[in-house]
Amino acid sequence: MIIVSKVIVVGSINKDLVFNTKRHPIPGETVIGDTHFQFNGGKGANQAVAAARLGASVTMVGAVGNDQYGLEIFEDLKRENINTDYISFKKNQTGLAAITIDEVGENSIVVIPGANGLLEPKDIPNDLISSKDTVLLQFEIPLPTVEHVAKIAKSAGATVILDPAPALTIPESIYQYIDIIKPNQGEAKEISGHDCINKAAEFLLHKGVKQVIITLGRDGAILFNENGQTEFANIKVETVDTTAAGDSFSGALAAALSRGEDIEKAIGFAIKVAAKTVTKMGAQSSLPRINEIF
């Protein structure tokens, strides 16, 4: 039997409510917005769509509410040629994200987990993951579920990528299952307690993670591993919306690794994809297809 390499994304599925304004309000302040949009989102779903549009065979594992948003998103994911067999319908409402974007494209986000908070280890079959798969995880679902998936993925011999967002204190027990961790600069500081990028990377490598990728926004990314560090320059573009930059990077990284690229080529590809993503508005609506990159 031929085993097809898959990208398996286990994570959040949200509806994004997006507000554009000239600047972000300070505490206690009301500002007038310019426009409002609704998009499909959630870090998990964004990363799944990103990988699928880049040619990967993708399975999405997550949870939505049995409501209009949940049904819409479920059908939209199917239209992206994503396997939705492992998306559960829960009693809670579909997750929501309120996103404010200023005139230079920088965003702030408030997330209500909704159904995402009910995704349990029992929702993920132990035989779902094979040794050829790349598994992508984030922290918008319950930690016990993240750890369960990481453990069974590691046992299966799959490659496990953790995008540690939103940043939190990572339980010591999880590190042993992670092959690649991809925080941004702020997340690396929050997780490690170190302001210095090199110190943060050293902290994560010491925990047993083999590859640490710290993304730096407009300044590119740095890979840290046993061979030292490698810097990757960003591609200069006119930024419209950075909402899905990190998710497009993660999805592209997983897609490239699943087709056999080495880590450095995969990062270079992910930077191209993220640069293309920020030139458009929205989360999934901004994610490019493979023919837009090559």
Residues noted as catalytic: 247
Whole-angstrom distance, CA of residue 169 vs CA of residue 114: 22
Contact 229, 87 (CB under 8 A): no
Q: Is 21 annotated as a binding residue?
A: no
Q: Is 100 annotated as a binding residue?
A: no
The candidate with the shortest Cα–Cα distance to 256, out of 247, 264, 271, 266, is 266
The candidate with the shortest Cα–Cα distance to 14, out of 67, 82, 81, is 67
Q: Is 243 annotated as a binding residue?
A: yes
Q: Is 154 annotated as a binding residue?
A: no
Q: Is 15 annotated as a binding residue?
A: yes
Q: Is 286 annotated as a binding residue?
A: yes
Q: Is 172 annotated as a binding residue?
A: no
Contact 37, 159 (CB under 8 A): no
290-293: Cβ within 8 A, 24+ apart: 290/53, 290/54, 290/55, 293/54, 293/269
Q: Is 220 annotated as a binding residue?
A: yes
Q: Is 80 annotated as a binding residue?
A: no
Q: Is 282 annotated as a binding residue?
A: yes
Residue in the structure block whose two tokens are 């450095």: 264
Detail the DSSP E strand segments found in the chain: 7-10, 14-21, 33-41, 58-65, 83-90, 95-101, 107-112, 134-137, 159-162, 180-181, 211-215, 221-225, 228-232
Q: Is 85 annotated as a binding residue?
A: no
* Residues of the binding site for K(+): 241, 243, 277, 280, 282, 286
* Residues of the binding site for substrate: 14-16, 42-46, 140, 247
* Residues of the binding site: 14-16, 42-46, 140, 184, 215-220, 241, 243, 246-247, 277, 280, 282, 286
* Residues of the binding site for ATP: 184, 215-220, 246-247
